[in-house]
Structure 1
Amino acid sequence: MHYFDNAATTKPYAEVLHTFNKVNENYYFNTASIHQAGRDSAKLLEASRKQVLQLFSLPNYTCVFTSGATESNNIAIQGTLERKKRFGRTILVSQIEHPSVINIVDHYGGEGFNVEFIRTTGEGRVDVGHLESLLNEDVVLVAVMAVNNIVGSVQPVEEIKDALMNYPKVHFHVDATQAVGKAAIDYRGVDSLSISAHKFHGVKGAGALMLKEGKSSGQIHFGGGHEYDIRSGTVNLPAVAAMAKALRLTLEDMDDDLARIEGYNHSLRSELDGLESIVIQPSDVPHIINLSFTGAKGEVVVNALSEKNVMVSTTSACASKRAASNETLTAMNRSPEVIDGSIRISMSRETETENVEVLISALKEVYEEIGDVLR
């Protein structure tokens, strides 16, 4: 199988699975237990927490372990809005956010909040000038992802931080799910940051929410008081320790991986350049390529490639079964034909030259097979 859906999920590193299994064998105890085995497990938990914060250069932040970025986004956004609703009712959010952000703010829009969408440029980036024009004393939350999951555009996080300097009431949340190992971004100063382990070769079921101030996000569910009383529930220590290992391995080899995957990206674009009816979107990270077979349906192309043992997707896996149009390409003002015919190719550290060669051949074969539709 030739796998090009890494933006949906990645294969865990062998070293990560080893850590996961060893912790399950040797530290299966509840980290909240006060007996010696529980205290030993708690030490491993705190070591993992410290490592995650150090790797993000956020040593003074609070790290809350969660089940993944969807839960982290919910805790950050819902907790912030519940805590700040007496100070203001306006939310500013980019048009290209993940459903786990968009659906939350849509819900609060029906609960008396004013939701304003920040415009997107033709390159798939947030228009900072438009953001600045929307800022006022009623704004309590700005939510912008770090790297877009559909086209791979890197968002101007540092510029947004600067724009918010004169608005201390605003909580700035960044969903960094797609950025880990793909883009070097300085997150110091953001109010909250979410990640998900399975996007960078960890195991599913682990994520983190990093908070500039531990109590900046209020409680949204209740339990035994685990994770600073922000995310109650028995901590998934094996997955958390494995996530810390995956994060370290990913960031250690990031520069080499970027250079190699950039070469793959260039090869693919060069091989498809000039083919009538194929449109390739710009991207800031080499891992994600969004291209369209204009005149065809993206689902048709995905299925045709799947029959050739090549796995790609049409959009975010969290939204791929919905009938809605691709929000990112719509925000970028792409034509309906480009949107309907789009597919997403996403690579990772596990991608090799042979995989890319097979992908290119398969894309050309599918292009010829459905040529009557395209031309």
Structure 2
Amino acid sequence: MKDDLDSSRSLDVEDGSNDGTFRYLVQKGLIGERPRVEGRYRGYGLKKSCDRWVALDRHGKEIGSLPVHETDIWMSDPAVPSTVGVPTPEVATEILGLARQLRLLTKPTNALSSAGYLVQSLRQLSVIEGLTERNPFIIGIERVALLRQLLETDGPVTRELLRCIVELGQTVSRDQVADQYPVIVRRALEEIGSRIPRAILAEAIKHRKLIERTAAKASTSRRAPGVLEHRVSPRLEWLVDLGYLSKDGIRKNTFEYRVMPEAVQLLSDLDARFGEKEMESSVASGQWRSNPSWNHFRERIGPMPFPESLLKAYKLLRRRVGPSSLRDVTLLTALLSEHDVSFGEVHKDIIDYAAKAPGVSLSGGRYSRDPQNIHIAETELGLTQ
């Protein structure tokens, strides 16, 4: 991963298609008019002179091309909603840590989990359907699975964070939300206290007390962004990536946000379903149907009737060996369905279908006898005679 984050390619200063990337580098302060002795672009300078870009080497001599990190080329794309938090080789371990926290990677080996495979499959479908470019910072259909994982791992805090920003008004800042973070954590803990194991509850209480102590210290001193801001910033940026906050009309590298109507609807869905079994999948599939900012994704997917939707979902998620996650197949089937059906309704349809289709079998998981996995034979998929 470090090599990928450190890769670069030379961009011709005379090529007009590179103008956006060069402007991004200058606006972000990543490169200056004079060559610098430190930073990602040490030894290089870049400036606009007489309506043309001029790149300089470490000796101040003009050069015809500038080596630019691939991540900066991606981030300079106008379709990227926010330019806060550019990944660098130095934070590669943190990126892997986030993927593990979202349960996209398994902890011992960093292998793709079932959820990670779902995200990867939806990403590939987005590229195939032309819904997104290969720029990893432009999220396609996989946003549905990412929303589910966010709610699964951070649902209570995300819910109260949404409540906070909706109450604050149409435009909010990171600092405003950070000031309210102790309240957000307290509300979240009050909601889940009776639903989680005692050991996890004890850790959650310790976290709440830490946040309260941090807030008390912060109120008596002027400081640079600290613990509260650093806990709030990633969550706000995730909501930007998923379309619930926006920076339209605001500089993309600032910590100010516009609250979209979709955020109000997501909060309403979470309030209505909070505490339900498979709440995360139900809300994510419901958002797929109701979120107007996702319309262009739905229109391009080509909805289909059941069981064709199930068979296509299974093909997309089929592993080389073994069954697939019933939960993931159900979510993808709901996305592909031509009817406005809930996650629970699709789950029941699949259970009923498996009971009568000879090539479909369900199996329990390691800790449960309830159906957790699904296997569909190649004959049922129409892959063999």
TM-score with structure 1 setting the length? 0.28
Structure ranking higher on relative contact order (CA contacts 8 Å, 6+ apart)? 1
Greater helix share, structure number? 2
Mark the structure with the bigger radius of gyration: 2
TM-score with structure 2 setting the length? 0.28
